[in-house]
Chain A
């Protein structure tokens, strides 16, 4: 027993007295950034952009580790159970952290307890687009048309419980209209369906819909943030089009397992915020249809709590079937 006490005491002393030096030494080896998606998607792009810039600041390589599956739960579980030493971080994606707790009742981790938010890196809006053959030119006209033709309009999504699906359900609930949900296996096939007029309405990502909007193949009716998009200045937000308070954002943020030393968290927060100031990063994120946020950890925590609460209401109100 004395030996154990000694180790415990040593650890405690070390933790209390040397944490600044840990932060000064940190990082001494490459950092693993775990992603909930396969290579090639939007999250992967964000991770590689931000990871490269942070590697330069931290002086150690950030290794992107793609662990897709179970709507992001595999990656979250992996990081939740990793050593809290600052060498395993999670690239958090909005719905993976805020929707899954309501959708999957038996998660092996608890987003609130197992993670410390570091910073929200970037966020983006969705665009409400329709096939140009639909007569509606504004959100109000779409709502009126949908009320005249209840259930006749199909809205496409990237699968049951996907962000595009939830945005559509929220729109239906807020506008009080009936539309038929058509799930596709991903955002790409969903936008193809609206291009081919198999579905008429879609809440799509900026990156995938913008070229089609510019070419006139899709008509943009509104965006889902509280501020208009810089790239689509003439398109109103849903909030200003009569659906007060409608806000659906997609966001990416950095999280660490609970227990990571505060000094390391601070260092990561400062370095990631600094890395995001680089104009090249801004430009890169812009191409993905995202804006730099780079906020504090408290702001990020508040965002997660707020989104979790609002999605949980939407899911139970709309009755999206939990697993």
Chain B
């Protein structure tokens, strides 16, 4: 079996004591820096990148992979504890993860995130090891029309996300789309909604909006209501998930893993969209969807698994095609080039030790993450018992520092304050921010791919239904819309019938 001999090469490379140590150092540093609010994997990796320069390429990449997973898990930790998503994929974790924390269940939320991630990582790892070359060519079958259809499906799932009014969530999606338009238009190079401010020429940074409308708005809203401030310290029950938690989580973890593994291969927004879609799927499948948003453990387990599986399979296009799946992967790719590794179709044959070593170390990194974080659960949860008047100013300060590092600009901090206020207004009017963020991420991508598809087809819109992959994705979107509308229509009908009677 090729798979096993390949993995053997990898584990041989990754299991030397020194490399295990590098992996552990990477995971620990990544976790501790990634847990700072506003500091997502991108910033963490760029800060820690220079410390890997002195190592040999394989060790350096193993350490980087450790930093990457550590930072990602650190981001989920802040999302659950203080409602601050450090990057797009942890937005979803905020929804039910933070709700669980408010109910005194921060421990199980953090644990299930770590365990779900590990399970997903293990499966995704086997998928990468077995099918990397095949899957890379599958990613190339996704052209602009397919991406457009996928983004459309993503927007439809955004409507499922909210547990309040459908109209309000559509409103938030549209607002997100509008915010996403700011910046330079890729197709024409024109500046849109930049108001002559050069800092806006690349548009709004996702992290700023996410931290503003989630974390900062939440903090301000808490000050308005006295009793809210004591919720956290009230009751912290057991740290580990109960048997019941496990039995309701394993299926979402498994489904999330499959979804994430498939979407992670697509360069672009694989990781983000997979966590959103997993959440939407779990909510659709749940017997009682109303629990979602109130602290449903499935809403943490599924998306966290999806996100981690996608993060794993995202290495496929990065390593075999040299195409990064996002900003963080672009940074990893840059680092590889610095170490003299040219990612491309031949990386598996020219650097087998490196390629399989990296894959093996991804799994080891995941394992270390669980080992490192389960004992730390108590520490993180204790953090919530720090008095509000000390904890929250510290979080605001750290958030400002985190946001400043995005572009080394104070303008980012002003924007954070602005989005904090916008978020506060949204909370007061009972709007949910998650659909806004999804609209913000998907809008520009959808537009870009739509316009490019139309150029490719020379103006013929049937391109979206002529291509089988695109058609399938569109049909799923239609089915999802129907599943939302039909119950509503039926209800109306029944009402009408009862009225007549």
Contact = CB atoms under 8 A, between A and B. Distances in A.
B46 A183 contact: no
B338 A208 contact: no
Contacts of A198: 143-144, 456
A197 to B, nearest CB: 8
A182 B140 contact: no
A191 B323 contact: yes
A134 interface: no
CB-based closest 5 A-B pairs: A211-B344, A160-B189, A40-B334, A40-B331, A70-B201
22 contacts: A39-B46, A40-B331, A45-B338, A48-B50, A71-B184, A74-B198, A159-B184, A160-B185, A183-B187, A188-B330, A188-B333, A192-B323, A198-B143, A198-B456, A210-B342, A211-B342, A211-B343, A215-B344, A287-B337, A287-B338, A320-B189, A321-B189
A119 B322 CA distance: 31
A176 interface: no
B409 interface: yes
Given A185-B448, A208-B322, A211-B343, A321 B334 contact: no
A154 interface: yes
A284 B190 contact: no
A73 B190 CA distance: 15
Contacts of B334: 39-42, 44-45
A74 B410 CA distance: 13
A66 B406 CA distance: 9
A211 B337 contact: no
B199 A74 contact: yes
A42 B334 CA distance: 7
Interface string B334-361: 1101101011111100000000000000
Given A40-B330, A40-B333, A211-B347, A70 B202 contact: yes
B327 A38 contact: yes
Contact of B322 (A42, A44, A108, A191): A191
For chain B, the bracket of interface size reads 35 or more
Contacts of B324: 188
A175 interface: no
B143 A196 contact: yes
A108 B199 CA distance: 13
Most buried by B among A42, A49, A71, A189: A189
Contact of B140 (A65, A67, A195, A215): A195
Given A67-B408, A195-B140, A212 B344 contact: yes
A321 to B, nearest CB: 6
B456 A192 contact: no
Given A41-B334, A185-B186, A192-B323, 16 more contacts: A38-B327, A39-B46, A40-B327, A41-B330, A66-B46, A66-B407, A67-B407, A159-B189, A182-B452, A184-B186, A191-B322, A195-B321, A208-B322, A210-B342, A215-B345, A287-B338
